[in-house]
Chain A
């Protein structure tokens, strides 16, 4: 077996997402190059995971900018809700008026029919 047959899997072995079959495992156990490769992948992975706890400091202006943006978005949202509420009331009013007009027309029509 050649190194390149397992090289692709070694990073996966380092993070536990890949498993070598028996032949591949035997090769790695006997091959210093592949063992070194695996050690390197493990070191890199450890260093990558350690980076997770690092926090880079943004410049002081970023937080106020984000908060201002949220405030603005919140206000816009509130206005939209208010307007859509009014729109609902307006449409409701129109519907009520139309219903009343329809009912009135029916009453008039029935009176007209009775009179004739």
Chain B
């Protein structure tokens, strides 16, 4: 059961109706976005159970806080921010971290026509390794790199939702990126690598 995509205009109309108290409109928004929200939640938590809890909490907060949504950002971006905040709170509450295997059902191959098969295979391999590498990051680093590099949230929003300073968000992003590069391209390690965060070189 996947999300039911709706056009941006339709989303705006649904948001407007939901803001004025129409619960069926909010439910339509949930149907349209829950798979995306779940995807972000699982990327942030690295765990299916945690992701389910985060999704529930996210929509509950969104429902209660919808009147505060002024529409200056997209609804999806607003929802991502709530998801990030919920995941942060959730992970903070549960000081444990489990790693689940990646599901084989996830489409990872670039199916666009005209893409060279070898190039496609390389991309697929990189994305597979990347997903594992992201999952292996400490939650604090993972949250920042996922929100910035996958979901394109500004540093300011990331800092706000994670309850950290913008400088801290930038430092974490820098560390996360360095770690990912070290894990994905271990043959190429510059002299600065391995410094801080325990060093990936020693961890491999």
Contacts and interface: CB of A to CB of B under 8 A. Distances in A.
A33 B42 contact: no
Contacts of B48: 59
B39 to A, nearest CB: 4
Interface stretch (A19-27, A67-75, A82-90, A102-110): A67-75
Contacts, number: 127
A40 B185 contact: yes
Nearest to B185: A40
Given A47-B123, A69-B59, A58 B191 contact: no
A45 to B, nearest CB: 6
A8 interface: yes
Contact of B60 (A15, A33, A56, A73): A73
Contact of A4 (B52, B150, B191): B191
B156 interface: no
Contact of B106 (A45, A49, A54): A54
Nearest to A81: B21
A70 B150 contact: no
B42 A56 contact: yes
A98 interface: no
Contact of A44 (B181, B192, B193): B181
B55 A11 contact: no
Question: Would you call the interface of chain A mostly helix, strand, loop, or mixed?
Answer: helix
A55 B35 contact: yes
A2 B190 CA distance: 10
Contacts of B68: none
Interface of B: 1-3, 23, 26-27, 30-31, 34-36, 38-39, 42-43, 48, 51-52, 55-56, 59-60, 63-64, 103, 105-108, 110, 123, 126-127, 130-131, 145, 149-152, 174, 177-178, 180-181, 184-185, 188, 190-193
Given A54-B106, A58-B38, A62-B55, 4 more contacts: A44-B130, A58-B34, A65-B52, A71-B23
20 contacts: A4-B190, A7-B191, A11-B181, A36-B185, A37-B188, A40-B184, A44-B181, A47-B130, A48-B149, A48-B150, A49-B152, A50-B123, A51-B150, A55-B3, A57-B1, A58-B51, A59-B52, A66-B30, A66-B55, A70-B26
